[in-house]
Amino acid sequence: METLIGRHVVIQGDLLFSGGLYIEGKVLGKVIAEDGADSLLTLAQGGIIEGSISAPNAVISGRLTGDIHSHERIELTETAHIQGNIHYRLIEITAGATVSGQLIHQQPAE
């Protein structure tokens, strides 16, 4: 992980990242991976994002209010709470995760 947002940190505004981003705090805005980067977003159990996510890979254990777009893989752990649509290519959902929204499968690019 290149970047850690600690549990006492609140970020207001959009966040652009590449590589690994681990969020234990709160982000009020969009979280966007740079184009072409093989990035991984991890939202920890106590972490909160109020805004959309766009990242190739994501592991969600916290609370997300907004849509998530992933063209690779999304993992929802048992503590994940999502209010929004999930656009995915591959998804893994552990029993206990909650989703209030649609699951929308994206076909791989030809």
> How does pLDDT run across 21-56, given as a tens digit for each residue?
999 999 999 999 998 778 999 999 999 999 999 999
What whole-number distance in Å separates Cα of residue 64 and Cα of residue 80? 8
Question: 85 near 69, Cβ under 8 Å?
Answer: no
pLDDT recorded at residue 109: 63
pLDDT recorded at residue 108: 73
pLDDT recorded at residue 40: 96
pLDDT higher than threshold 80 for residue 104 = yes
Q: Considering the entire predicted model, what is its pTM?
A: 0.93
List Cβ neighbours of 56 (8 Å cut-off, separation of 6 or more). Answer: 33, 37, 38, 39, 40, 70, 71, 72, 73
